[in-house]
């Protein structure tokens, strides 16, 4: 809400710079979006008098004007239709700057010298949307008393500072000059002199003879009407137009403008109807009936629901209650009798309707947040008084109250002890009472206890905690002590799963993978790829886009999106990992998925940059396997880690994928992304792994254990064998281990060959076997015997040929 | 010419030859020719038997002296030549030390992760527990128990992805307040917890909005927790994470689950408080929301709000990272451009 600083100053003796006041508002009540002085950035724009107007010889619409700007007379060519001799106008002098940083220079217009420019309102920075219709198609004419040569800004309210506040949902009271004045009075400890116009019912008629009204009290607990007869509709006076355009509201006419003025001043939304267009001279606040329609003031049509609140005449809705009036009863230039409406509408129902039709008006915003239910009469009275004054109307006798809420100021109890305990302060009772006084809350003190009476405009205050906030903000958050909570020896730490997740991240980073964070919400298709277990998809009810519509059941697809994003930008070498949740749902009946922590990685391109002394080898299965294996070792998993070839994952290369088993239990998989999937993602060959981190967390762990290092020398023996291609390394190792005896300490594969020098269908492998005896010096014959046994069994069990 | 004179001549000649040699092989040849069995000394000594018995030992001794002298000289010469050759060899091995070293692979934590870890570690040091909660949440915890009943206008502030009418993607980490309060046994003492995690809003992604981002919730509830404690805690965090040269201010705000509620601003990173476009010329940047836990939140979680009270705060690590590093587009955090991610590799 834009608040005119000058308007505030009408009621408050405050002469600090506006910026300072804004900072104070921000520190004490609500956020300030901006402070703007409309004339900032404009210069040399002055009052001029048109002394002579002649037509331009080469144009059918331009005029050559002589303009007196006080100390000189300028010749200015102007195209506005309303330029006329004897009028005071806005003159942008040569060398001036007008809206949008446009500089005005002396120039020639169709051959005629022009020293400056006569301006319309929008040309000097007023938003086109708020320029009154009568000034929309021409230059603005200043009042006769404007002084020649003076800057024009003070005549147009442009020298004022507009403080744009951003009001939180609880501070609806700040959506008015009244509320802001009251809050500033409290903040600065000032007495305000807010002035209220009282109404003189100068008409002959009685309101209730001209119109009748009924209202469902659930919808409109207060519903008031007044009638003003014999109005003369015309533009509002300049002071009122200025107040409205400063607020960002377009001035319309002297009736509508008054209702908007009252809305801004009191925060009370109002509506005006043309009495003669109300069928049956009756208004009713009720729910809409099925099939009813309305065309609102902005010329939009709505088909209404039975949950919408409307104001209807005998025949049909004439307004969506509290949101926007209907076209049918709109005030026009021909209107002579006006019905004014001021009401309290149910905020929840109103909000539903406003949201449903996506209509947001100044009125709806205020009703939604809650208005000052104690101020409705004051608002309708002031509006009636002003219309009577500005439109020569006669105010009919009496206010028609279809419903009226009994307004009792609530009392909230608290204690001084409570306030000090919550805030950590040592305020005295006098200090606290003084704060409430400043806020306009009356207090009743008994020992430590306080009973605080809350004005109705502050409907947001209804319990002790709310009073804590009032005291804190007026006392000032800057003045609060700075302390830390009593810790009574609590020790913080990461839980085991948190530690493990952090270790996993650090290990992978040490192994060269960078952490990625991708989106949990993805497409239905990607969500269901790379599934480690069967699962139903979890879908959003109203996704914003199909790209983010379903919760992921794997991390890899997100990483592949990342690879694709990088590949598309010519970044080819990628090593990423992600740790995050996947969402499994086992049963169609369970709505909430199970959230499982996963860990996944993807490598693509080459991990090693080609350099002057090293080659860039393309990533492969074994590179990633090395990383995953080191990770699993570092995570101190107890139990054997196995890699079992699998072709069960449709998104993975059937010949280059393995399940990862720990102690026989499947925890994840590793392999190459299926080339056709890689093609779908538009990525280069990519190797990936995904692990169920939660499962790994839950597994038994090995602590580091010390083993005596043998003092006796080890003996190393190499064996080379030839076996059928289908025999896996795992099979060979397992035979060696099983038959190697207790002296066998380690097995290291150092060569694999399946080229021309072995028979077709065969491959050759070479292993180093290290033997050790921790108790005595190894004997050659013991090692020989062990190796012979291994060779024998390799031959027998795997049909190996020893080379 | 006497034998002795012969020997002296041999010596002088030999010394001259040795000194003139620059080559190990030539030096060896000299050694063999001078000192070998067929060498001049041996030959000369054959004439010793022509000498008188008195002269023999003298000349023999002289010959041995010459032999030793030549041997020493040859060895010295050999060392000198070897040293020279080594120096030459090493000189030939000179490398260009300005060529780049071998590339070593190293990954980085995501910049948001870095901020989360930093904040979490700080609060652990201050005695907080770290708890994590579900991302798919019940309306009950996300809103209702946070004092946001259905139809509450503040729900508009958080557009929500719903799965059903009652199940949603959590819009904040605050439901962890309700979940923790519900579980915590206050007979065992107060509660101090921090809860990082991903949250979701029904927003269209643009430079300043992301439908997915992170939050870190903090909650302290005990018998004597004050708003001054909240102020001190936030001050500690701001000074720790951003540095002591950053000032802060508390502003009134509104969250349904805290009362009083505040927003916390810190000195603008860009202009250090002078005023610039980033801070809309205020010198301040909003970094987090906080407040005293609303009594309704305590009551709904079954905690006696007369006896217990406390504070809560919510931090946005994405926002922290954007401010700290001047990242202008929040989407950069989730697109995982390797060139973006690898910039945050300073660990000092």
Question: Hey, which residues 360-389 in chain A have their CB within 8 Å of chain B?
Answer: 368-369
> Quick one: pLDDT at residue A296?
95
Name the closest residue on chain A to residue B204, using Cα atoms.
A544
Question: Is B348 a residue whose pLDDT tops 70?
Answer: no
Contacts of A477 in chain B (CB under 8 A): 231, 249-252, 262
Chain B residues whose CB is inside 8 A of the A424 CB are 226-229
Residue B226 to residue A424, Cβ atoms within 8 A? yes
pLDDT by residue (tens digit) across A772-787?
988 888 889 999 999 9
On the CB side of A251, how many CA atoms lie within 13 Å of its CA?
Answer: 24
Tens digits of residue pLDDT in A710-760: 889 999 999 999 999 999 999 999 999 999 998 999 999 999 998 888 888
Interface A-B, measured as beta-carbon pairs within 8 A, has a size of 261
Shortest CA distance from A491: residue in chain B: B127
Q: Is A656 on the interface with B (CB under 8 A)?
A: no
A666 to chain B, closest Cα gap in Å: 25
Residue ranges of chain A with per-residue pLDDT less than 70: 487-489
When pLDDT is averaged across residues B199-216 and rounded to a whole number, the result is: 93
Mean pLDDT of chain B: 90
Closest CA in chain B for residue A418 = B306
More confident residue, B280 or A62: A62
Q: For residue A649, give the nearest of A528, A552, A530, A537 by alpha carbon.
A: A530
DSSP string, A245-284: HHHT-----TTHHHHHHHHHHHS--EEEEEGGGSGGGEEE
Do B103 and A614 lie within an 8 Å CB cutoff?
Answer: yes
pLDDT, residue B57, reads: 83
The chain A residue lying nearest B247, using CA atoms, is A478
- pLDDT class for B282, splitting at 50, 70, 90? confident
Q: How far is B325 from chain A (nearest CA, A)?
A: 18
> What angle do helix axes B227-241 and A416-423 make, rounded to 10 degrees?
10
User: How much is the pLDDT for A66?
Assistant: 95
Cα-Cα-Cα-Cα torsion A473, A476, A477, A482, nearest 10 degrees, comes to: -140
Which parts of chain B are beta strand (E)?
Answer: 129-130, 136-138, 167-169, 191-200, 212-222, 248-255, 258-267, 284-293, 309-315
Q: According to the model, what pLDDT value does residue A437 have?
A: 97
Check residue B271 and give its pLDDT: 87
Q: State pLDDT tens for residues B320-335.
A: 898 888 888 999 999 9
pLDDT tens digits along A643-698: 999 999 999 999 999 999 998 999 999 999 999 999 999 999 999 999 999 999 99
Please tell me if residue A24 touches chain B, with a CB cutoff of 8 Å: no
Residues of B in contact with A631 (CB under 8 A): none
- pLDDT tens-place string over residues A70-117: 999 999 999 999 999 999 999 999 999 999 999 999 999 898 999 999
> Where are the strands (E) in A663-714, listed by range?
665-673, 686-692
**Cis bond upstream, residue B260 (ω within 30):** yes
Q: What pLDDT sits at residue A672?
A: 97
Residues of chain A contacting B148 with CB distance shorter than 8 Å: none
Structural domains for chain B: 3-92 (no CATH), 111-341 (3.30.930.10)
Record the tokens describing residue B167, joined without a space. Answer: 């199940």
Residue B1 binned pLDDT confidence (cut-offs 50, 70, 90):
low
Cβ distance B228 to A424 less than 8 Å, yes or no, reads yes
A15 contacts chain B (CB < 8 A): no
For residue A526, the model assigns a pLDDT of 97
Q: What is the pLDDT of residue B158?
A: 62
Q: With b meaning 16 or more CB within 10 Å and e meaning fewer, what string describes B44-80?
A: bbeeeeebeeeeeeebeeebeebbeebeebbeebbee
Reported as a pLDDT band with limits 50, 70 and 90, residue B37 is confident
Structural domains in chain A, CATH included, are 2-35+161-188 (3.30.56.10), 43-155 (2.40.50.140), 207-403 (3.50.40.10), 416-454+461-479 (3.30.56.10), 496-698 (3.30.930.10), 715-802 (3.30.70.380)
Cβ–Cβ under 8 Å, residues A685 and A604: yes
- Return d(Cα A733, Cα A737) in angstroms, integer: 6
CB-closest option in A492, A516, A521 to B129: A492
Total-model pTM: 0.87
User: Does residue B156 have a pLDDT over 70?
Assistant: no
Q: Do B105 and A514 touch (CB under 8 A)?
A: no
Residue B346: the pLDDT is: 78
pLDDT for res B157: 59
H or E element, residue A464: helix A464-475
Q: What number is the average pLDDT over the span B116-124? A: 95
The pLDDT, as a whole number, for residue B52 is 82
pLDDT, residue A611, reads 86
Question: Which of B233, B259, B335 has its CB closest to that of A465?
Answer: B259
Selected for mutation to probe chain A from B150, B151, B299, B338 (highest A CB count within 10 Å) is B338
Smallest CA–CA separation between B146 and chain A, in Å?
15
Give the pLDDT score at B144. Answer: 94
């Amino acid at each position: 809400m834009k608040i005119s600083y000058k308007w505030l100053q009408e009621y408050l003796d405050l002469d600090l710079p506006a910026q300072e006041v804004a900072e104070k508002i921000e520190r004490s009540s609500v956020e300030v979006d901006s402070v703007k002085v409309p004339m900032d950035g404009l210069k040399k724009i002055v009052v001029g008098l048109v002394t002579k107007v002649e037509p331009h010889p080469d144009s059918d619409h331009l005029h050559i004007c002589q303009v007196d700007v006080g100390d000189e007379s300028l010749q200015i060519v102007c195209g506005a239709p309303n330029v006329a001799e004897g009028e005071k106008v806005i003159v942008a002098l040569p060398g001036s700057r007008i809206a949008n940083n446009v500089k005005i220079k002396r120039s020639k217009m169709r051959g005629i010298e022009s020293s400056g420019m006569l301006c319309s309102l929008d040309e000097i920075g007023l938003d086109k949307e708020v320029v009154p219709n009568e000034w929309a198609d021409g230059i603005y004419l200043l009042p006769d008393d404007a002084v020649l040569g003076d800057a024009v800004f003070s005549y147009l309210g442009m020298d004022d500072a507009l403080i744009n506040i951003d009001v939180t949902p609880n501070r609806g009271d700040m959506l008015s000059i009244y509320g802001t004045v009251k809050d500033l009075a409290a903040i600065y400890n000032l007495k305000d002199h807010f002035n209220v116009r009282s109404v003189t019912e100068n008409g002959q008629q009685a309101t209730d003879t001209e119109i009748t009204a009924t209202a469902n009290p659930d919808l409109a607990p207060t519903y008031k009407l007044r009638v003003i007869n014999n109005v003369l509709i015309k533009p509002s006076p300049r002071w009122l137009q200025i107040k409205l355009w400063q607020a960002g509201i377009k001035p319309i006419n002297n009736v509508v403008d008054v209702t908007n003025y009252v809305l801004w001043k009191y925060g009370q939304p109002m509506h005006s109807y043309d009495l003669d267009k109300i069928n049956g001279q009756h208004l009713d606040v009720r729910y809409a009936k099925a099939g009813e329609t309305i065309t609102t003031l902005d010329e939009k049509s709505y088909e209404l629901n039975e949950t919408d609140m409307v104001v209807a005449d005998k025949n049909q809705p004439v307004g969506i209650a509290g949101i926007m009036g209907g076209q049918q009863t709109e005030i026009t230039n021909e209107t002579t009798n006006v019905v004014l409406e001021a009401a309290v509408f149910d905020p929840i129902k109103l909000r539903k309707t406003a949201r449903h039709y996506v209509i947001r008006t100044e009125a709806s915003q205020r009703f939604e947040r809650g208005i000052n239910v104690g101020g409705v009469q004051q608002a309708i009275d002031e509006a009636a008084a002003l219309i009577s004054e500005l439109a020569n109307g006669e105010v009919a006798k009496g206010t028609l109250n279809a419903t009226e809420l009994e307004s009792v100021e609530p009392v909230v109890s608290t204690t001084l002890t409570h306030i000090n305990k919550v805030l950590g302060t040592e305020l005295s009772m006098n200090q606290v009472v003084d704060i409430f006084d400043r806020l306009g809350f009356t207090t009743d003190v008994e020992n430590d206890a306080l009973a605080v009476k809350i004005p109705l405009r502050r409907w947001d205050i209804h319990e002790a905690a709310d009073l804590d906030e009032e005291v804190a903000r007026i006392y000032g958050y800057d003045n609060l002590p700075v302390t830390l909570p009593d810790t009574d020896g609590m020790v913080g730490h990461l839980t085991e799963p948190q530690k493990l997740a952090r270790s996993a991240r650090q290990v992978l980073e040490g192994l060269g993978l960078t952490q990625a964070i991708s989106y949990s919400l993805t497409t239905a298709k990607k969500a269901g790829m790379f599934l480690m277990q069967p699962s139903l998809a979890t879908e959003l009810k109203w996704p914003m886009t199909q790209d983010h519509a379903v919760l992921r059941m794997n991390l890899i697809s997100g990483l592949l999106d990342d690879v694709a994003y990088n590949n598309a930008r010519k970044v080819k070498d990628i090593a990423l990992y992600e740790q995050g949740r996947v969402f499994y749902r086992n049963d169609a009946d369970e709505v909430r998925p199970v959230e499982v922590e996963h860990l996944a990685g993807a490598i693509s391109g080459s991990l090693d940059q080609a350099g002057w002394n090293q080659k860039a080898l393309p990533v492969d299965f074994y590179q990633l396997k090395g990383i995953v294996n080191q990770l699993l070792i570092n995570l101190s998993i107890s139990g054997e880690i196995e890699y079992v070839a699998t072709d069960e994952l449709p998104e993975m290369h059937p010949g280059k994928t393995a399940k990862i088993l720990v102690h026989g239990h499947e925890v994840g998989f590793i392999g190459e992304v299926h080339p056709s999937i890689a093609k779908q993602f538009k990525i280069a060959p990519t190797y990936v792994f995904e692990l169920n981190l939660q499962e790994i967390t839950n597994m038994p762990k090995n602590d580091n254990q010390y083993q005596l290092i043998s003092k006796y020398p080890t003996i190393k023996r190499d064996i080379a064998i030839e076996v059928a291609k289908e025999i896996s390394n795992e099979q060979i190792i397992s035979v060696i281990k099983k038959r190697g005896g207790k002296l066998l300490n380690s097995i290291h594969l150092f060569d694999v060959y399946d080229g021309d020098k072995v028979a077709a269908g065969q491959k050759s492998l070479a292993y180093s076997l290290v033997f050790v005896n921790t108790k005595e010096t190894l004997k050659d014959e013991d090692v020989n015997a062990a190796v012979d046994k291994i060779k024998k069994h390799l031959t027998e069990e795997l049909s190996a040929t020893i080379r | 010419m006497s034998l002795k004179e012969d020997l002296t001549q041999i010596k002088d000649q030999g010394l001259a030859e040795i000194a003139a040699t620059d080559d190990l092989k030539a030096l060896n040849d000299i050694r063999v020719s001078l000192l070998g069995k067929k060498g001049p000394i041996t030959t000369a000594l054959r004439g010793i038997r022509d000498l008188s018995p008195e002269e023999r030992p003298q000349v023999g001794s002289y010959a041995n002296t010459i032999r030793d002298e030549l041997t020493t000289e040859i060895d010295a010469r050999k060392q000198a030549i070897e040293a020279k050759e080594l120096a030459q060899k090493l000189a030939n091995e000179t490398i260009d030390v300005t060529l780049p070293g071998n590339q070593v692979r190293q990954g980085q934590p995501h910049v948001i992760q870095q901020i989360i870890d930093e904040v979490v570690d700080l609060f652990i040091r201050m005695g907080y527990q770290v708890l994590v909660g579900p991302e798919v949440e019940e309306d009950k915890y996300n809103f209702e128990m946070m004092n946001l009943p259905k139809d509450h206008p503040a729900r508009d502030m958080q557009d929500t992805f719903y799965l059903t009418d009652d199940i949603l993607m959590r819009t904040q980490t605050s439901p962890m307040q309700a979940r923790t309060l519900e579980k915590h046994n206050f007979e065992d003492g107060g509660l101090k917890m921090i809860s990082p995690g991903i949250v979701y809003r029904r927003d269209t992604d643009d430079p300043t909005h992301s439908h997915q981002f992170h939050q870190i919730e903090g909650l302290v509830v005990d018998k004597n927790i004050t708003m001054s404690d909240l102020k001190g805690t936030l001050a500690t965090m701001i000074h720790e994470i951003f540095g002591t040269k950053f000032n802060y201010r508390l502003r009134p705000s509104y969250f349904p689950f805290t009362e009083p509620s505040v927003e916390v601003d810190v000195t603008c990173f860009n202009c250090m408080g002078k005023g610039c476009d980033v801070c809309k010329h205020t010198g301040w940047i909003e970094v987090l929301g906080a407040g005293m836990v609303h009594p309704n939140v305590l009551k709904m979680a079954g905690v006696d709000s007369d006896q217990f009270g406390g504070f809560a705060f919510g931090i946005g690590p994405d926002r922290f990272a954007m401010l700290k590093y001047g990242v202008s587009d929040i989407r950069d955090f989730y697109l995982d451009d390797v060139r973006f991610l690898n910039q945050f590799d300073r660990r000092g």
